[in-house]
Amino acid sequence: MEEKFRQAIEEAGSLADKMLIEPQEEFVSEFNVRKSKLARINVDKKWINFWWRVNYKRVVSMSAAAAVITIFSTFLLNFKNDGFEQAVVQNHVSLMPATGSVVLKLASGEFVELDSAAAIENKLSGVTIDAQKGVISYAQDKSSKDLFANSKVFKPEYNELSVPKGRSFSVVLSDGTKVWVNALSKLYYPVEFDGAERRVKIEGEAFFEVKKNEKIPFVVETKTYSVKVLGTKFNVNAYSEEKSVATTLVSGSVEIPGVNGASVKLTPGKQFKMDKETKNVSLEDVDTELYTSWMNDVLRIQDSNLELILNVIKRRYDVEVVVQDLSLLNEKFTGKVPLNDNLSVILEQLEKVSDIKFAIEEGRLIVRR
């Protein structure tokens, strides 16, 4: 039996070669069936499960520091460990998330700081702001349209919401669609939707919970491509420093029209990415929570490299990042860290699970081995 199996394995290479050079229908269809089976198995998740299964007892029996666990070349972070967070603050200069103002640019060209909420509510009827919760909402009933029309400052045209470093903010548009806008991002939208489609533009990152209306599609425009939706929840990451623009679908369905002529339809759990330069596209199954945790001011990562983490830090904290050894950017981490706490909470945890050292000097975050 074993001999038969050994033989089969030895022959596999030449069969693979044959399938490539003279593809036969039978193998091609089987190859495709197999591919769809593989797509249903999330190996990263299975690995985590397996890892816990074999290491659970050791982890639990370890001391408090065990909350941070090295997973092979990857690292697992866990910030819900009290003894740990305290040790953190002593070693690093305290640095809380940046606190710029969220600014709304009105159609008139006038800028209004949303933190002084009272001011704007006076100017714009039909608009309510809860700065503490970070929400601005536009009235959804018809009568408010008249109020808008009568308002002196305001014309039913476009507003632009700019969220600074260190913040996130959400807006309820006039159709009831809710948009969470991440740090260092801009949302450009009409105060009142009219016409055949509901079109908004995003720079940076936002999560959309689109109010269903099959007659009037909702379109999100980025500099690289647009996303067309009927009613759904999804995340768009179009930060200028990222190599590609990623759309992650949580529920419902969205369409990316006109990519190389054909449009691409996403189903829940899929992530569509387009490289900004090469325009190469990819469609993958992802754990959507990894791409939406920022709404709760948490960074959740799985096998992500340090570069991604540093990019997020740059958007949340007022620091310049200096990396002394670029190879460090490829170090991989798994776990979650808070984004609304002292920066040192993140740094100390990264240090605990890797050989990387962080120091904050004169507003610069130095990363070295």
> Which residues would be at the binding site for another protein (CB under 8 A)?
1-2, 4-17, 19-21, 23, 25, 28, 30-31, 34-35, 37-38, 40-41, 43-44, 46-47, 49-51, 53-55, 58, 69-74, 260-261, 278, 280-282
Taking CA atoms, 186 is separated from 68, 163, 165, 340, in Å, by 35, 6, 11, 20
Task: Kindly tell me which of 15 and 149 has the beta carbon lying closer to another protein.
Answer: 15
Closest CA to 162 of 93, 121, 101, 247: 101
Task: Kindly tell me which of 43 and 118 has the beta carbon lying closer to another protein.
Answer: 43
Task: Kindly tell me which of 43 and 326 has the beta carbon lying closer to another protein.
Answer: 43
Task: Kindly tell me which of 113 and 242 has the beta carbon lying closer to another protein.
Answer: 242
To another protein, the closest distance from the beta carbon of 54 in angstroms equals 5
To another protein, the closest distance from the beta carbon of 28 in angstroms equals 6
To another protein, the closest distance from the beta carbon of 360 in angstroms equals 30
Are 268 and 231 spatial neighbours (Cβ–Cβ below 8 Å)?
Answer: no
Taking CA atoms, 2 is separated from 7, 12, 13, 196, in Å, by 9, 15, 18, 66
Pairwise CA distance, residues 306 & 111, whole Å: 36
Task: Kindly tell me which of 38 and 149 has the beta carbon lying closer to another protein.
Answer: 38
At residue 362, what are phi and psi to the nearest 5 degrees?
Answer: 50, 50
To another protein, the closest distance from the beta carbon of 345 in angstroms equals 23
Are 367 and 323 spatial neighbours (Cβ–Cβ below 8 Å)?
Answer: yes
Coil, helix or strand at residue 218: strand
To another protein, the closest distance from the beta carbon of 312 in angstroms equals 25
Task: Kindly tell me which of 30 and 325 has the beta carbon lying closer to another protein.
Answer: 30
Identify the sign of the CA torsion 367, 168, 231, 244: negative
Closest CA to 129 of 152, 141, 112, 150: 112
To another protein, the closest distance from the beta carbon of 151 in angstroms equals 49
To another protein, the closest distance from the beta carbon of 35 in angstroms equals 7
Place of tokens 């603050």: 89
Task: Kindly tell me which of 28 and 149 has the beta carbon lying closer to another protein.
Answer: 28
Closest CA to 206 of 229, 184, 176, 223: 184
